[in-house]
Amino acid sequence: MNKTQDCIDKCLGEDETIQLADGFEDAFIGIARQFNAPLAIYDRAKCIEILCKDMTWMDAEEYFQYNVEGAFVGDSTPAFLCTCE
């Protein structure tokens, strides 16, 4: 089993689901709750790194902002954490 599935099994009730961001499994951090609803949390910088495998950093940042971070997929839309390190 992978890290994402382990976390889902540990943190979600059997009747709960979350939306996952396709292609960003390596950037998955965990699950948070907002208004008692679970949502997937990803490391934003790692998401950009993943995209940089196929494009420049500038293109990856622009693509991410518009197509990933800016996409609403319902109440359980994933969140992307920008760390202050």
Q: Would strands 37-43 and 79-81 be described as parallel, antiparallel, or unpaired?
A: parallel
Domain boundaries, the chain: 3-81
- For residues 73-77, give the mean pLDDT: 84
Percent of residues, the chain, with pLDDT higher than 90: 59
Summarised one tens digit per residue, pLDDT across range 26-66 is 999 999 998 888 999 999 999 999 999 999 999 999 999 99
Place 1 in a pLDDT band, splitting at 50, 70 and 90: low
Burial per residue of 8-32, b for 16 or more beta-carbon CB atoms within 10 angstroms, e otherwise: beeeeeeeeebebbeebeebbbebe
